[in-house]
Amino acid sequence: MNFKDILSKMVKGKKLNYQEIDYVITNFTNDNINEEEMSKFLIEIYRKGLTFKETLYLTNSMIKSGEILDFSKINKTLVDKHSTGGVGDKITLIVAPIVAANGLGVAKMSGRSLGLTGGTIDKLESIEGYNVNLDKNEFINQVNNIGVSVISQTDKIAVADKKIYALRDKIGAVDSIPLIASSIMSKKIASGANIIIIDLKVGNGAFMKDIKSAKKLAKTMIKIGKKWNKKVVVILTDMNAPLGNSIGNSLEIKETIDFLNGTYQDKRLKTLSLTIAAYMISKGKNISVNKAYILAKETLENGGAYNKFENWISCQGGNLSELKDNAKTLEVFSDKDGYIDEINAEKIAVICNELGSGRSNKRTTIDYGVGIVLNKALYEKVEKDELLATIYYNETNEKERLVEQLKQSFKIIGIKPKEKNIIISVIS
C-alpha cells in the first residue's frame, strides 16, 4: 500500500477501505506523510465527500490514534456534552452542576481556546486557585464524590485530529460534513462517556451556515455514535447572537454565578441551558425529556445547582470571591430609539479578542478581566442615550474606535422584531 495509489483511487471516485484510510491517518500522525500530501487527501474529501462507511473508518482510525479514557471506576452514569463553539458560551459551567445535582456524573475534559474568545478552561482559570490539572485518580475520585469535575484536555486523545484540524484550518477545508463529524466524534468517543449531547450551532457565526447541512451532520454523528453504542442527541441551536450578557473569561464566571443563584438569567441562555441539561438528565436517568426538564428547573430554582457549582469549584481549589477581574470600563450608549434586532456575535468576538480575551492573532497570554457586558438583550426595547453595553479593558489607545465598533455590532430597528427560538430542532 502507498499514498499515491490511495490518492489515485480517490481521484477516480473509488471508495476506500479501512486499511487505506488508516494507512493515511497513521502515517500523517507519525510524520511519514507530509502536509502537502495530506492536503490533497483532505481536499478530495472536502470536494467529493465520503460515504458513511468511509466516515466511520476515518473516525475509528482517529480514535485509535490516541488514548481511549477508561472510566470504569466511576460509580455514576456519565453524561457528556459538546458545543461546536459559540460566543459567550458558558453552557458547560451552568449545566454540569445542574446535571451533577441530579445524581449523574460529569467527568469533562475541556479545551483552552485558540479562537477569538476563551474556552471553558480559560474561563475556569480566571478563578483564583482553580486547578485544571488534576491527575487521573483525583479526577475520578472527585466525580465519585460530588458528581462533577472539569479539567484541561490532554494532548493524548485523538492525536490525529489535532494535526488534521490544524491543516484543515490552514487550507480552508473546515466546513465539510465527514471531516467535522469524524473530528468531533473521535474526541467524544475517546473521552469515555456513553451519553453525549451535542450543541450544534447554526448561523452566520458558525461552521454550519444552513439548517439542511446541520441536520445532515447531526445524523452522521448520531449514526457513528450508534456504531460505538453511544447515545447521541444533537440539538441544533441558533448562533446569530452571543449567549447571555457577558463575553470574556471572568465576566462569564460572574454571569454563571448570577445565573445559578437567580440574580440574573438571560432568557436565551436559560432556554438553552435547561434544554441541554434536560436531555443529559433524560438520557442518563432514562426518563422523559419533560420530566427531566422539570428536574433541571427545580435544581436551578432551589439552589441545588448553585451549591453544586460552589462545591465543585472549591474541590478544585478555586475561590469564587477572588476572580482575576481587574479591568477599567467604558460605556456605550444607543444613538437611537428602537428594538435590538441583532447583536452580531462575530463582531463582538473580534472586539473581545482585541481587548485580550482570546489567543487568536498570535496572542499567547489571556487577559482574564477584559470583555464586554451587554446591558441590553436581543429583542429588547432601547431608548436613545440608554446604556447598550460596557467594555472592560486594560490596554487600548483606541477607545473611540472600540466604542464605535461595538455600536456597529447592534442592529436597532423601529418595530418590535419577531423573536426566534434559540432551539432550532432536536435530532436523536
Q: Which residues bind ligand URA (CB under 6 A)?
A: 84, 165, 179-180, 183-184, 207
Query: Given the complex with ligand URA, which of 167 and 377 has the nearer CB atom?
Result: 167
One-letter amino acid of 137: N
The sheet with strand 410-413 has its strands ordered as 381-382, 338-343, 410-413
CA–CA dist 327, 373 (Å, integer)? 12
CA–CA dist 279, 342 (Å, integer)? 28
Least distance from C-beta 52 to ligand URA, angstroms?
A: 17
Query: Given the complex with ligand URA, which of 182 and 250 has the nearer CB atom?
Result: 182
The answer to whether residue 183 is catalytic is yes
CA distances from 275 to 60, 234, 236, 279, 295 (A): 30, 11, 11, 6, 11
Query: Given the complex with ligand URA, which of 43 and 289 has the nearer CB atom?
Result: 43
Reported as half-sphere exposure (CB side, CA atoms, 13 A), residue 232 has a value of 27
CA–CA dist 230, 226 (Å, integer)? 5
Mention every residue, 6+ apart, whose C-beta is less than 8 A from residue 88: 117, 242, 243, 244, 245, 246, 247, 252, 345, 348
One-letter amino acid of 70: D
The answer to whether residue 168 is catalytic is yes
Q: Single out the catalytic residue among 187, 188, 359, 376.
A: 187
CA–CA dist 349, 118 (Å, integer)? 10
C-alpha cell at 246: 457577558
Q: Which of 152, 148, 79 lies closest to 111, judged by CA? A: 152
Least distance from C-beta 83 to ligand URA, angstroms?
A: 9
Query: Given the complex with ligand URA, which of 169 and 398 has the nearer CB atom?
Result: 169
- 356 and 285 Cβ atoms separated by less than 8 Å: no
Least distance from C-beta 365 to ligand URA, angstroms?
A: 24
Q: Single out the catalytic residue among 81, 82, 188, 268.
A: 82
Query: Given the complex with ligand URA, which of 258 and 346 has the nearer CB atom?
Result: 346
Q: Single out the catalytic residue among 61, 149, 183, 250.
A: 183
In the bound state, the residue with its beta carbon closest to ligand URA is 183
Provide the b/e sequence for 101-112 (b: ≥16 CB within 10 Å).
Answer: bbebbbbbbbeb
Least distance from C-beta 165 to ligand URA, angstroms?
A: 6
Query: Given the complex with ligand URA, which of 180 and 382 has the nearer CB atom?
Result: 180
Query: Given the complex with ligand URA, which of 183 and 194 has the nearer CB atom?
Result: 183
Least distance from C-beta 184 to ligand URA, angstroms?
A: 5
Q: Single out the catalytic residue among 89, 122, 161, 266.
A: 161
The answer to whether residue 161 is catalytic is yes
C-alpha cell at 118: 476563551
Q: Single out the catalytic residue among 90, 168, 188, 359.
A: 168
Least distance from C-beta 168 to ligand URA, angstroms?
A: 7
Q: Helix, strand, coil: what percent of the chain each, to 5?
A: 45, 15, 35
One-letter amino acid of 180: I
The answer to whether residue 82 is catalytic is yes
Least distance from C-beta 254 to ligand URA, angstroms?
A: 27
Active site members: 82, 161, 168, 183, 187
